Amino acid sequence: MNKTDFLLRLKLQKGIGYVKMLRIASQLDTDDVNISAIQSMALPSALKEASFAALNDQKAERMIYRIKKQCKVLTFFDSLYPEKLRQIYQPPLILFARGDLTLLQREIITIVGSRLATSYSKIVINNLVPSLVKKHLVIASGLAKGVDGMAHTATLRNNGKTIAVVGNGLNHFYPMSNHGIQEKIVENGLLLSEYLPDTPPRPFRFPERNRILAGLSESVVVTEAKERSGSLITANLALQENRNVYAVPGPITSQLSAGTNELIEAGADPIINFELKPERFDNSD
């Protein structure tokens, strides 16, 4: 059995979460996973038993066939898996995708911000995105309300390429108001998730996906964000992973600028003229 199918079988097993799956995956030093390979793994007996159960699960074969019919499956061991993502803390072992996987090999900028963003974010994004698209950069975001939707929409409108990393399975549309945008991204970009296709959206999954948004990118841009917001989680993760972080300054009277102003105070580069510092990008004009 190949590694991809074995990892999918582990993913489908009850009681095997990320930590256990990572421990098993770290022992996979062969492309052909079989009984002998599992027996030779330096694992506790409980994890070996779980691995044998996954290997021999007859129901899993039908489920995996269905998954592969619905989407593409990319694992940590595949050549198309982005190197930057491999380097982060707790990289996703499996990614489910619809669209153009080659976008993962290009330079990516993540744009995030408040779900309750004002017209200020829209103005900034509509003026910033065309210059990024002109530099052939891929724009990533989380397909949420507010800034995420603005970033995806502006990129598509300017004939650019965009990646949406969602906090649910690919068979769900969340929020429903972004249903149309999601379909356009599948046609003209890439839709990405670490969750099985039928996994519904849940609040705790969105902070989890933020590490992917930060890990994929060369840089993260935050437009508007309150203190202690999800966007700041993404920005802080980006800082931890040594990515460039940009923030849009705003009035000190605005709660939605409190987070971005704090980021600038902490060392993020302020965006002051609808351009990111060109020396950050090797392919700048």
Give residue-wise pLDDT tens across range 70-91.
999 999 999 999 999 999 999 9
Tokens read off for 151: 């970033």
Has this prediction a pTM greater than 0.85? Answer: yes
How buried is 180 (Cβ within 10 angstroms: 0-12 exposed, 13-18 middle, 19+ buried)?
Answer: exposed
CATH T-level topology, domain 101-280? Rossmann fold (3.40.50)
Note the pLDDT tens digit of each residue in 6-50: 999 999 999 999 999 999 999 998 889 999 999 999 999 999 999
Spatial distance between the Cα atoms of 129 and 135, rounded to a whole number of angstroms = 10
C-alpha gyration radius of the chain: 20
pLDDT at 151 over 70: yes
Q: Which of 135, 115, 106, 120 is nearest to 276 (CA)?
A: 135
Instruction: For the chain, count helices (H), then strands (E).
Output: 12, 9
The yes-or-no verdict on residue 283 having pLDDT over 90 is no
Tracing tokens 């039908």 back to the chain, one arrives at 62
With CA atoms as reference, report the closest residue to 280 among 125, 121, 107.
107
Check residue 277 and give its pLDDT: 74
Q: What percent of the chain has pLDDT over 70?
A: 97
**Mean pLDDT for the stretch of residues 145-172:** 98
Q: Judge contact between 100 and 211, C-beta under 8 A.
A: no
pLDDT number for residue 148? 97
User: Looking at residue 285, what is its pLDDT?
Assistant: 41
Query: Alpha-carbon distance 139 to 277, whole Å?
Result: 16
How much is the pLDDT for 276?
A: 86
Hunting for tokens 């009850």 — which residue is that? Answer: 14
Average pLDDT over residues 224-233: 92
Q: Where are the beta strands (DSSP E) in 23-137?
A: 72-75, 94-99, 108-112
User: By the 8 A CB rule, do 259 and 232 touch?
Assistant: yes
Residues 169 and 96 sit within 8 Å (Cβ to Cβ): yes
Q: What is the 3-state secondary structure (H, E, C) of 6-42?
A: HHHHHHHCCCCCHHHHHHHHCCCCCCCCCHHHHHCCC
Question: What confidence tier does 279 reach under pLDDT thresholds 50, 70, 90?
Answer: very low
Residue 165, helix vs strand vs coil? strand
Q: Where are the domains of the chain?
A: 3-70, 101-280
Compute the average pLDDT of residues 205-226: 96
Q: Does the pLDDT value for residue 162 go beyond 60?
A: yes
Residue carrying structure tokens 């296709």 = 197
The residue-averaged pLDDT of 183-212 equals 96
Give the pLDDT score at 30: 85
pLDDT over 90 at 138, yes or no: yes
